[in-house]
Each structure stands twice: as structure tokens, then as C-alpha cells.
Structure 1
Amino acid sequence: MSRAVTLVRSAALSDVAEYAYAATVPAGARLIHPAGACPLDENGATVAVGDYAGQAAKAVENLRTALGEAGATLDDVVSTRVLVASSSQADLVTAWEVVRDAFGAHDVPSTLMGVTVLGYDDQLVEIEAVAAVFDEATASA
């Protein structure tokens, strides 16, 4: 089945960025807006306390699960926002590298932000995403 997401690159913008600069979704695609993916285990406890990379990995795992429940994968993601509770650029980069590596060649437009605090005790990372898919009926039409 074809993907609903098309990544857009620009020769007029810096090639230093490790992501596409835009993404498009055609009419008829179903958008998926999962809640922010947090580094929580099945009991709701924050994992990898104090570990930016470990929390980013768990947040990606939970994002994969939420997307799967909605009929999507990471390859269907249109964009992300990665929130990191730190004022240190090194901590942001540590979390970002985990997220970037999880997406691989599907390098969606992303925003990386340092924030003051996140919602759960000991939480350092949260990943927001939007995805788009063609449903079976839409894809065959």
C-alpha cells in the first residue's frame, strides 16, 4: 500500500538539518493525533530516571504502540515535536539522536525543544507526533 506522507526537501535551505523541512498529506488520508508519548512502563511509572537516551527510547517504543493501535507505523508520521526537560543543549541532542535513529530514512520534519518541566514525576522526554494513513477503502478508490 502506498504511504500518505510525502517528505519535502529544499535545496534553498541548509542541508545540516537531519530531517525534511516539510511534509504533505493528500486529501482523503486519515490523520492520527496520538497523545504525547511518555517514558512510562505498563504500570504508569517513569522509566530510565535521569537518563535522557533511555527515556527517549521508551517514548519511541510507546509511540510505536499507540500508532500501531491506530493502524500506523513510524513511517506514517508527518511531523514530530520532541520535548526535553533541560536547558542543556547536550541533553536535547542526546534525546534527539535516539528519536532520529528510530525514524531512520523517514526523517520527518521535527521540532526539538527544551522545556522547564514535563507532566510525570522524573519525566525528561516526551514525543508528540502526527501521522497519516490511507484506509483500505481510501487506498483502493
Structure 2
Amino acid sequence: MHSKHREIINPSTIHDPFGYTHVVIPKGKKIVYLSGQVAWDRDLQVIDIGDLAKQTDMVYQNIQHALNEVGATWDHIAKTTIYTTQPHEYAIIGAATAKFFGDAPPPAQTIIGVTGLALPEFLIEIEATVVMDE
């Protein structure tokens, strides 16, 4: 995969990544930090309690709205940090990541298992670092 906004490196001496990139070198000059997004809708209602796939989709929808607001695309995301109460469900998380990133290479990524998030109904929270030209 090729990225216009990031140099993508996956060393041959490390296992092949699935749903993330081992090394990302941003090419932009402006750094934007997106706060951790959770499965809240616009009215602060937790959506799909107990469903990691649907909550992850909602989180990525919220990230899409933030990207739109600053004029960025998924390709501008250099790094995500994922906090989840279900860290072993990386196939579910990876499927949502692939859906939203589409043809853009996935970012560098860390998944952290936690015992809880801001509300007990939240199963996942994702924060992102975006790098843009201006």
C-alpha cells in the first residue's frame, strides 16, 4: 500500500502486520491530536451496549466527523491508540479499521486492554494522531 501523507515501513525482519503498520513516518507539518472517541451518538447515548463491532463502528464514525472538521482523511492518521475491555477481539477491531481506512494503509497502532472506560457500557475508545501539510 502507498500513502501520500505517510511513509509506510514494514521491516521484513518483523512479522507481517495485520490491520496496522509497524513504522509510520509522517510527511506533514501540522500535528492534530484527536481525543479518544467512544460509542456515544450526538445525543450522548451509548449505542449498541455489549456489541464491540457496532461500538467500534460508531467510534470510527466519530473519528470521521473529526477528520472532516479539520479537512483530513484517513490517510492523514499516523497513529491510533485503542483502549478496549476486549483486547483479544482484534479481528473485530481490525475489520472496522479496514472498513474505514479503505485503500489507505492502516496507521501505526497500539491496542491496550483495560478493565474499564469512562462508562461501564463502553467497550472501546480510540484516539488518533493526524499529520497534515497545513
> SS of the counterpart of 1:69?
helix
The CA deviation string for residues 94-124 of structure 1, in whole angstroms up to 9 with x for no partner, is 2332123322342111111211101134111
* Preserved contact between residue 19 and residue 97 of structure 2 (Cα < 8 Å): no
* Preserved contact between residue 4 and residue 76 of structure 1 (Cα < 8 Å): yes
> Cα distance, 1:82 vs. partner?
1.4
TM-score by length of 1: 0.82
Unaligned runs of 5+ in 2: none
CA–CA separation in structure 2 for the residues paired with 1:5 and 1:54: 29
Task: Determine the structure 1 residue equivalent to 2:106.
Answer: 107
> Cα distance, 1:54 vs. partner?
0.3
* Preserved contact between residue 39 and residue 46 of structure 1 (Cα < 8 Å): yes
User: Residues 116-127 of structure 1: matches in 2 within 5 Å?
Assistant: 116-127=115-126
CA–CA separation in structure 2 for the residues paired with 1:109 and 1:77: 9
CA–CA separation in structure 2 for the residues paired with 1:74 and 1:82: 16
- Displaced runs of 4 or more, over 6 A: none
Is 1:95 the counterpart of 2:93? The answer is: yes
User: Residues 43-54 of structure 1: matches in 2 within 5 Å?
Assistant: 43-54=43-54
Task: Determine the structure 1 residue equivalent to 2:69.
Answer: 69
Q: Which moved more, 1:55-64 or 1:36-45?
A: 36-45
Q: Which moved more, 1:2-11 or 1:34-43?
A: 2-11
* Preserved contact between residue 85 and residue 116 of structure 2 (Cα < 8 Å): yes
Identity of aligned residues (%): 24
Q: Which moved more, 1:115-124 or 1:45-54?
A: 115-124
Task: Determine the structure 1 residue equivalent to 2:79.
Answer: 79
> Cα distance, 1:86 vs. partner?
3.0
Is 1:18 the counterpart of 2:45? The answer is: no
Count of residue correspondences: 131
> Cα distance, 1:70 vs. partner?
1.5
User: Residues 22-37 of structure 1: matches in 2 within 5 Å?
Assistant: 22-26=23-27, 29-37=29-37
More strand by share: 2
TM-score by length of 2: 0.86
CA–CA separation in structure 2 for the residues paired with 1:107 and 1:14: 16
